[in-house]
């Protein structure tokens, strides 16, 4: 490997990670200032950060962020409660699985954003339609992961639980649920991430508020600093939802170490 | 966006179910729901303007297929899917292999990937339109962004899980540079790469449809959007049917292919 690699080894890990981000930001700044990138389209990093700060304090960006987060929260709750229930039923009972499987099989791979027009017709143009569209994405993910987790509980564990006298609900609560928890939490986490994706697409397409709408509007008005500022906020939320929740999950399930293959 | 739960388990289970015939109850359940729908619509319990009867939707679907309208939109969508997938995967696998072996580069790139990856792809449409102009290239590029990163992540992970001993043995026997890549790294991480490709294809489909809804005049997504705006509900259901079939093919078809190509692969159901 080259001298570059050797130099990199000398830096501690966090520093190398930060170095990548800082280098990208500086490169962007330089290219925009030198005019190699058209600054009307690619405003320098410093300008984007200033706009980000101003719009957050001024309230506009904060309001759109709140709108998105509010919808995301409702969508997630709307998906998680029935999703967990149905997933658990399908995992425990063959009858439920056989009856509901065809719908899960058919609808799980359907890009949920395609259901937006239908929901707009049914619920009218407004938050209910946006929220339901976003929640459907999470719903199927949660059902599928929960069912999977419950079905794949080690039969030995169940056997042992039975031998120690656990029956019925006790067996489920004390044995099956804890064993299935990692898979269930993974489903919830993936579901949340997926509903953000759908929600942003929905906002971009039709909403009059929210970060997706803000990106669309800034684009139409060629207010590129605002557009990039909104993208930064979405990226930040995304990181929190993916890596942050992964960390929470690992901490909750400390008895069950997961291997993180990437980081 | 994290798409992978335990990627294969779900699809594998579904395939097994399909092969077993899915059970009589599953069939009954679908027939019952469709009959209920048909009956309720005929009886006037549900609004036919919103929920046209299954038979009516079927007839409209057949008519649209015969006219060739749906086929045209389908082929446009398939074309975009193909190009986006290609643009995402070829450089994605290449970069993933490099990052897999080059730790410094990986640690520098990682935070950038972590930041961009969860940004919903549709948001890159404005950026792509600015750089590439408002046209086909921008749509294809938009749908490729997140899939590209997904392939990079999976390929990197695939290289990193390779047995150190295997790598060292290969290097001792003179596999360096290009040979190391083609003879050891690529085949060794193939199962992981394949997982990445499969998830990427599903993801690309989602974004293509979304992009078509907001920024195209043709394609299945555009067809849906137009049907909504002109309140042609039956056309909308027909379009949904095609998109659903496409989603099914992409999700379960590729899993069947994978089982053929890398049948030995197990234990990959770890979450990425």
- Yes or no, beta carbons of B110 and A262 under 8 Å apart: yes
For chain B (272 residues), the mean pLDDT of every run of 10, in chain order, is 43 56 71 86 80 87 90 94 95 92 85 85 90 91 93 90 82 79 83 86 91 92 92 90 90 76 52 32
**CATH H superfamily, domain A59-252:** MetI-like (1.10.3720.10)
Question: Pick from B120, B127, B271: which is nearest to A258 by CB?
Answer: B271
Q: Does B153 touch chain A (CB under 8 A)?
A: yes
Predicted TM-score (pTM) of the model is 0.83
> Which pLDDT score, from 0 to 100, does residue B76 have?
95
Which residue of chain A comes nearest to B161, CA vs CA? A261
> Which pLDDT score, from 0 to 100, does residue A12 have?
65
For residue A40, give the nearest of A219, A212, A232 by alpha carbon.
Answer: A219
The dihedral region occupied by B162, where left means phi > 0, alpha psi between -120 and 50, and beta the remainder, is beta
Examine the pLDDT at A3 and tell me if it is beyond 70: no
Residues of chain B positioned with their CB less than 8 A from the CB of A98 = 22-23, 25-26, 29
The encoded tokens of residue B107 equal 């640690």
Sign of CA dihedral B177, B178, B179, B182: positive
- Yes or no, beta carbons of A17 and B110 under 8 Å apart: yes
- Yes or no, beta carbons of B116 and A258 under 8 Å apart: no
| CA–CA dist B182, A213 (Å, integer) | 45
> Which pLDDT score, from 0 to 100, does residue A2 have?
44
> Which pLDDT score, from 0 to 100, does residue A37 have?
80
Distance from CA of A164 to the nearest CA of B (A): 31
Q: Does B120 touch chain A (CB under 8 A)?
A: yes
The mean pLDDT of chain A is 85
The encoded tokens of residue A2 equal 């080259």
Instruction: Look at the block and give the residue holding tokens 């957050």.
Output: A56
Residues of chain B positioned with their CB less than 8 A from the CB of A224 = 130
Residues of chain A positioned with their CB less than 8 A from the CB of B221 = 114
> Which pLDDT score, from 0 to 100, does residue B141 have?
95
SS3 for chain B is CCCCCCHHHHHHHHHHHHHCCCCHHHHHHHHHHHHHHHHHHHHCCCCCCCCCCHHHHHHHHHHHHHHCHHHHHHHHHHHHHHHHHHHHHHHHHHHHHHHHHCHHHHHHHHHHHHHHCCCCHHHHHHHHHHHHCCCHHHHHHHHHHHHHHHHHHHHHHHHHCCCHHHHHHHHHCCCCHHHHHHHHHHHHCHHHHHHHHHHHHHHHHHHHHHHHHHHCCCCHHHHHHHHHHCCCHHHHHHHHHHHHHHHHHHHHHHHHHHHHHCCCCCCCCCCC
> Which pLDDT score, from 0 to 100, does residue A201 have?
92
- Yes or no, beta carbons of B111 and A20 under 8 Å apart: yes
What residues does each domain of chain B span? 53-255
Distance from CA of A61 to the nearest CA of B (A): 16
Residues of chain A positioned with their CB less than 8 A from the CB of B149 = none
Examine the pLDDT at A86 and tell me if it is beyond 80: yes
Q: Which fold has domain B53-255?
A: MetI-like fold (1.10.3720)
Segment A12-33 shows an average pLDDT of: 79
Q: Which residues contact B109 (CB under 8 A, 6 or more apart)?
A: A20, B99
| CA–CA dist A66, B63 (Å, integer) | 46
> Which pLDDT score, from 0 to 100, does residue A63 have?
92
Residues of chain B positioned with their CB less than 8 A from the CB of A106 = 244, 248
Distance from CA of B119 to the nearest CA of A (A): 5
Q: DSSP per residue over A53-107, as a string?
A: HHHHHHSHHHHHHHHHHHHHHHHHHHHHHHHHHHHHHHHH-HHHHHHHHHHHHHH
Residues of chain A positioned with their CB less than 8 A from the CB of B108 = 8, 16-17, 19-20, 23
Cβ neighbours, 10 Å, residue A159 = 11
Residues of chain A positioned with their CB less than 8 A from the CB of B50 = 121-122
Examine the pLDDT at A81 and tell me if it is beyond 70: yes
Q: What is the pLDDT of residues A184-242, one digit of tens each?
A: 988 898 899 889 989 999 999 999 999 999 999 998 888 888 999 999 999 889 888 87
Pick from A15, A245, A261 the residue to mutate for testing the B interface (most B CBs within 10 Å): A261
- Yes or no, beta carbons of B1 and A197 under 8 Å apart: yes
| CA–CA dist B127, A42 (Å, integer) | 9
For residue B191, give the nearest of B161, B214, B220 by alpha carbon.
Answer: B161
Q: Does B86 touch chain A (CB under 8 A)?
A: no
Which residue of chain A comes nearest to B153, CA vs CA? A262
What residues does each domain of chain A span? 59-252
Residues of chain A positioned with their CB less than 8 A from the CB of B236 = 117-118, 121
Instruction: Look at the block and give the residue holding tokens 């990627």.
Output: B7
The dihedral region occupied by A122, where left means phi > 0, alpha psi between -120 and 50, and beta the remainder, is alpha
Pick from B7, B12, B122, B125 the residue to mutate for testing the A interface (most A CBs within 10 Å): B122
- Please give the C-alpha separations between residue B117 and each of A102, A138, A223, A235, B50, in angstroms, as whole numbers: 32, 18, 24, 8, 37
Q: Is A145 helix (H, G, I), strand (E, B) or coil?
A: helix
| CA–CA dist A227, A220 (Å, integer) | 10
| CA–CA dist A214, A210 (Å, integer) | 6
First to last CA, chain B: 11
| CA–CA dist B77, B222 (Å, integer) | 10
> Which pLDDT score, from 0 to 100, does residue B268 have?
39
- Yes or no, beta carbons of B126 and A216 under 8 Å apart: yes
| CA–CA dist B166, B180 (Å, integer) | 11
Cβ neighbours, 10 Å, residue B39 = 12
- Yes or no, beta carbons of A241 and B118 under 8 Å apart: yes
> Which pLDDT score, from 0 to 100, does residue A261 have?
39
Q: What is the pLDDT of residues A135-167, one digit of tens each?
A: 999 999 999 999 988 988 888 888 888 888 878
| CA–CA dist A203, B123 (Å, integer) | 10
- Yes or no, beta carbons of B3 and A194 under 8 Å apart: yes
For residue A217, give the nearest of B209, B214, B71 by alpha carbon.
Answer: B214
> Which pLDDT score, from 0 to 100, does residue A259 have?
44
- Yes or no, beta carbons of B119 and A231 under 8 Å apart: yes
Which residue of chain B comes nearest to A1, CA vs CA? B102
| CA–CA dist A198, B206 (Å, integer) | 9
| CA–CA dist A239, B117 (Å, integer) | 9
For residue A186, give the nearest of A156, A136, A149 by alpha carbon.
Answer: A149
- Yes or no, beta carbons of A106 and B244 under 8 Å apart: yes
Question: Pick from A5, A114, A238: which is nearest to B243 by CB?
Answer: A114
Which residue of chain A comes nearest to B159, CA vs CA? A261
| CA–CA dist A111, B170 (Å, integer) | 43
Residues of chain A positioned with their CB less than 8 A from the CB of B127 = 227, 231
Instruction: Look at the block and give the residue holding tokens 């619920």.
Output: A123
- Yes or no, beta carbons of B213 and A113 under 8 Å apart: yes
């Amino acid at each position: 490997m080259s001298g570059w690699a050797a130099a990199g080894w000398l830096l501690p890990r966090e520093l190398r990670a930060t170095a990548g981000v800082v280098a990208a930001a500086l490169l962007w700044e330089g290219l925009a200032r030198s005019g190699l990138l058209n600054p009307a389209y690619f405003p320098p990093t410093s300008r984007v950060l200033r706009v980000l700060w101003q719009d957050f304090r001024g309230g506009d960006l904060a309001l759109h962020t709140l709108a998105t987060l509010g919808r995301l929260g409702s969508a997630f709750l709307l998906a998680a409660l029935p999703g967990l229930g149905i997933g658990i039923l399908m995992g425990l009972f063959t009858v439920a699985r056989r009856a509901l499987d065809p719908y899960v099989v058919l609808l799980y791979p359907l890009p949920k954003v395609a259901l937006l027009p239908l929901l707009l017709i049914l619920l009218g143009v407004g938050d209910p339609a946006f929220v339901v569209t976003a929640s459907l994405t999470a719903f199927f993910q949660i059902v599928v992961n929960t069912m999977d987790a419950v079905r794949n509980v080690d039969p030995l564990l169940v056997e042992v639980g039975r031998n120690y006298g656990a029956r019925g609900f006790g067996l489920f609560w004390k044995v099956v649920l804890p064993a299935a928890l990692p898979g269930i939490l993974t489903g919830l986490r993936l579901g949340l991430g997926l509903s953000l994706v759908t929600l942003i697409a929905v906002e971009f397409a039709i909403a009059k508020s929210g970060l997706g709408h803000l990106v669309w509007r800034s684009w139409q008005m060629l207010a590129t600093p605002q557009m990039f500022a909104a993208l930064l906020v979405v990226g930040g939320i995304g990181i929190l939802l993916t890596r942050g929740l992964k960390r929470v999950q690992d901490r909750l399930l400390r008895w069950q170490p997961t291997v993180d293959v990437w980081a | 966006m994290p798409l992978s739960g335990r990627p294969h388990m779900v699809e594998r289970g579904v395939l097994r179910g399909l092969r077993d015939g899915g059970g009589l109850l599953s069939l009954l359940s679908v027939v019952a729901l469709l009959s209920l729908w048909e009956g309720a619509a005929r009886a006037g319990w549900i609004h036919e303007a919103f929920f046209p009867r299954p038979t009516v939707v079927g007839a409209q679907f057949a008519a649209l297929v015969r006219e060739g309208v749906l086929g045209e939109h389908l082929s446009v969508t398939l074309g975009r899917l193909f190009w986006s997938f290609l643009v995402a995967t070829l450089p994605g696998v290449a970069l993933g292999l490099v990052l897999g072996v080059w730790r410094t580069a990986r640690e520098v790139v990682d935070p950038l990937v972590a930041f961009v990856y969860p940004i919903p792809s549709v948001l890159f449409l404005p950026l792509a339109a600015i750089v590439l102009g408002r046209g086909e290239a921008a749509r294809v590029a938009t749908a490729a962004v997140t899939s590209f990163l997904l392939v990079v992540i999976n390929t990197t992970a695939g290289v990193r899980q390779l047995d150190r001993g295997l790598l060292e043995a290969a290097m001792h026997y003179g596999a360096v540079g290009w040979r190391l890549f083609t003879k050891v790294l690529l085949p060794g991480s193939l199962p992981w790469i394949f997982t990445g490709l499969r998830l990427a294809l599903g993801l690309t489909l989602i974004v293509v449809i979304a992009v078509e809804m907001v920024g195209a005049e043709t394609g299945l997504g555009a067809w849906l959007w137009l049907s909504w705006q002109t309140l042609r509900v039956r056309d909308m259901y027909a379009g949904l049917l095609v998109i659903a079939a496409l989603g099914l093919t992409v999700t379960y078809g590729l899993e069947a292919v994978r089982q053929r190509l890398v049948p030995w692969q197990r234990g990959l159901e770890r979450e990425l």
